[in-house]
Amino acid sequence: MRTGVVIIAAGNSSHEDKMQPMKKVGSISAVQRLIKTFRQAGVHRIVLVTSQQEHEALEKHVARMGTVCLPNYDADHWQMIDYAKIGLAYLQQKCDQILLTPADIPFFTALTVQQLMQCGAKLASPVCGERAGHPLLVASSLIPFILQYEGENGLRGAIKNCGCARTFIEVEDDGILCDIDSSDDYDELLKQHNHQILHPSLKLRLVKEKPFFGPGTVQLLTFIQETGSVRLACQQMGISYSKGWKILAVMEEQLGETIVDRQQGGKNGGMASLTPKGKELLDKFRQFEECCRTLVQQAFEQIF
């Protein structure tokens, strides 16, 4: 199952007029903590939906974390449902299921995320102490029903409009319920979350005469797939256009293969897409990463 994530980083918070995705939660921000949790759970396609005013700042804030940032340019549509629709529409054809959460609930665990991903339901929420929390799991087949909803009951009404019964997944995770401004147990939750996000981080590279394929290359190729442009892909990564082309040149030189098809011209540097060889290489490297991640996690648990 291809799983994606939509993090809503704007709109009304539960307890404040304005959501604060860059607010520090420990030594990192709420949104950075969420991205790390989803990455730890094995999710790599993450979309952050922002307000127009904070788009540039948030894009810089999560640069090099492999996250697509989408701004909401419509000043008349600023409720949480409006931001959710932007992210869901973007991922609809790219994923089989999508996890949706606001940026101010950063304490749920990677284990909870994995339980949702593996539950097999079309619509699911985690439950702790008989209370449902975040993130929400939505099958891509249900997204059209959410996108067409124009009622006054926000995201809750859109979910009911799906016509699908929600499955509730029992978890032992208080973090699904607690936002960064309202929790009475903030310090304890932070301590628990910091404990559970301790995990090995493995950076793999493919090497011939030179290292030519690794995490940065994967991000660049993924964003080229997403945007159809090398320039926009570099912008999403927070690197210069010239550096992006250098990464591609070294990769293709070492492989002796064309990985990215280019069509010059245009304000965004022309059109670009992955060749069949490029798609195959990207898929195989992701499979290799997942296999290594599983083996390393097993060794980590045995030793630590």
Could you say which of 170, 196, 222 is where a domain stops? Answer: 196
29 and 124 share a domain?
A: yes
- Within-domain flag for 144: yes
Instruction: Measure the CA dihedral 138/142/145/150, to 10°.
Output: 10
pLDDT of residue 185: 65
Could you say which of 172, 196, 220 is where a domain stops? Answer: 196
- Within-domain flag for 298: no
62 and 155 share a domain?
A: yes
181 and 137 share a domain?
A: yes
- Within-domain flag for 300: no
257 and 178 share a domain?
A: no
The DSSP annotation for 160-213 comes to HTT--PPEEEE-S-GGGT--TTT-TTHHHHHHHHHHHT--------EESSSEEE
The position carrying tokens 């995990």 is 199
Quick one: three-class SS letters along 101-164? EECCCCCCCHHHHHHHHCCCCCEEEEEECCEECCCEEEEHHHHHHHHCCCCCCHHHHHHHCCCC
Whole-number Å distance between alpha carbons of 14 and 133: 13
Taking only the tens place, the pLDDT of each residue in 27-79 is 889 999 999 999 989 898 899 999 988 988 998 898 878 888 899 988 667 78
Whole-number Å distance between alpha carbons of 128 and 168: 10
- Within-domain flag for 301: no
Within 10 A of 45 (CB to CB), how many other CB atoms are there? 20
Taking only the tens place, the pLDDT of each residue in 248-283 is 999 999 999 999 998 876 555 578 999 999 999 999
28 and 125 share a domain?
A: yes
- Within-domain flag for 299: no
Taking only the tens place, the pLDDT of each residue in 175-189 is 998 888 765 567 777
225 and 134 share a domain?
A: no
Give the CATH number, domain containing residue 35: 3.90.550.10
* Residue 77 DSSP symbol: -
pLDDT of residue 152: 84
Q: How many CA atoms lie within 13 A of 165 on its CB side?
A: 3
- Within-domain flag for 125: yes
- Within-domain flag for 136: yes
pLDDT of residue 187: 76
Give the CATH number, domain containing residue 271: 1.10.10.10
124 and 64 share a domain?
A: yes
Which range of residues forms the domain containing residue 35? 3-196
Q: Average the pLDDT over each of 19-23, 110-114, 284-288 and give the range with the smallest value.
A: 19-23
Task: Please enumerate in sequence order all residues whose Cβ is within 8 A of that of 119, keeping only pairs 6 or more positions apart, or say none.
Answer: 137, 167, 169
172 and 234 share a domain?
A: no
Instruction: Measure the CA dihedral 227/35/20/87, to 10°.
Output: 40
242 and 96 share a domain?
A: no
Amino acid symbol at 165: A
Tokens of 220: 């660049």
pLDDT of residue 267: 57
Tokens of 230: 């090398």
13 and 110 share a domain?
A: yes
178 and 216 share a domain?
A: no
Total of domains in the chain: 2
31 and 104 share a domain?
A: yes
Is 96 in contact with 139 (CB distance < 8 Å)? yes
% of the chain surpassing 90 pLDDT: 55
Among 133, 138, 134, 135, which residue's Cα sits nearest to residue 122? 138
- Within-domain flag for 303: no
Could you say which of 177, 196, 215 is where a domain stops? Answer: 196
**β-strand partners of 45:** 4
Tokens of 1: 């199952």
Whole-number Å distance between alpha carbons of 288 and 304: 24
Taking only the tens place, the pLDDT of each residue in 151-165 is 888 888 998 888 899
34 three-state secondary structure: helix
